[in-house]
Amino acid sequence: MRYIDFIDFKYEPEETDVVCTFYVQPEGVSIEEAAGGVAAESSIGTWTELTTTKSYVQKLAARVFSIERNNVKIAYPIELFEPRNMPNILSSVSGNVFGLKTLKNLRLNDIHFSSELIKSFKGPKYGIGGVRKLLKVSDRPLVGTIIKPKLGLKTLDHAKVAHEAWVGGCDIVKDDENLSNQRFNPFEDRVIKTLESRDRAEEETGERKVYMVNITAETREMIKRAEFVLSRSGEYVMVDILTCGFSALQTLLEQDFNLIIHAHRAGHAAFTRNPKHGISMRVIAKIARIIGVDQLHVGTVVGKMFETREEVAENCEALKEEMSGLKRVFPVASGGLHPRLVPALIEFFGKDFVIQAGGGIHGHRDGTVAGAKAMRQAVDATLGAISLREYAKEHRELKTALQIWEQHA
């Protein structure tokens, strides 16, 4: 079969097919030949005709069934894939095809998994409903912070900052994505001391609090760290899902720990930033949800991250849309956030998301407690349909925060 033989505009995808939407920019060939090359090289074909192909193999060919300008849709028979094996699926649809000479650019913009494939994975254990049940917060966004500075604090100072954030009003405290088991803040000591801070904060505030400790490591070590968190009455862990890999994430979830999985997307922009080449965040979000995370960073619309409003909306949709009965996953907004941005965040995300602010809390001139209070006050004001400026007249912490970040609205 030649590349062009993988084009079939009359084909209607089967219910069990995996359907991928690509942006295809040809290099020296027609869009049809370039698209056919993607379908061929990601299924049963190659650059030349073969003498080894049998007639029964041809039914496994991927089919290009739609080309609109540079947007190409390809259907893959489910028989091409091993169930419950995400690396196998991705090695096929987003593997060697990115290196083809006939392509100047290629981007996997969306992927539709069949119900049969989705149900072979675990999916989220908790999702939005389970997280809200644990925290006993049902009617507002969750408020979280990242310990800052992201690296360098010794264990006792780390635990102290966490306590201040919780007492000020944060529901969540999490490690930064590059805090692991460094000498200045060893993993086990950090878990013990920070969870002790959590317990004190719960007693002082009467609210449920959670600590997301970063367990990202080699897979066996990651499992050991998850077990240690459980042994110390921890309820949450954080995993850098792209740098540790989807197979490691899946192995962790196969242990079926009673732990909520917060997924950090460190490194995603290497795949997602170029609008013409790579893999979209929407695809990464779908994969993470199918494997089984409960929360995932999706971008902010406002703040310091690069994604467009449309892209962030697509990422959120991937976490919440109906997908073969999978639980909905909490979108996490993080990156350059502060109290002034809360009205815009809630207008865009609604109530079902996590506000994760680092510098926007710890950068408050009156300290972390005041920064956390200001963030909660901004949420309360917005949900009460009161302007931040008006609410700040009676709330000193918010008033100061609005002054600090006046130039960053």
Query: Is residue 170 within 8 Å of residue 374, measured between CB atoms?
Result: no
User: Is 98 in contact with 24 (CB distance < 8 Å)?
Assistant: no
Active site residue 150: no
- The closest of 376, 372, 353, 356 to 364, measured between CA atoms, is 372
Q: Is 264 a catalytic residue?
A: yes
* Active-site annotation holder among 158, 193, 264, 320: 264
Q: Which residues contact 400 (CB under 8 A, 6 or more apart)?
A: 364, 365, 366, 370, 374
Chain centroid to CA 25: 27
Q: Report helix, strand or coil for 1.
A: coil
Reduce the secondary structure of 118-160 to three states and give it as a string: HCCCCCCCCHHHHHHHHHCCCCCCEEEEECCCCCCCCHHHHHH
Taking the C-alpha atoms of residue 338 and residue 31, their distance in angstroms, rounded to an integer, is 46
DSSP assignment letter at 96: G
Edge-to-edge strands of the sheet including 103-112? 63-68, 71-76, 18-26, 103-112, 278-279
Strands 63-68 and 71-76: antiparallel
Catalytic residue among 148, 163, 338, 364: 148
Residues 6+ apart with CB under 8 A from 354: 141, 142, 143, 144, 172, 295, 330, 331, 332, 333, 334
Task: Compute CA distances 76 → 23, 38, 348, whole Å.
Answer: 17, 11, 35
Residue 12: strand pairing partners: none
Active-site residue set: 148, 264
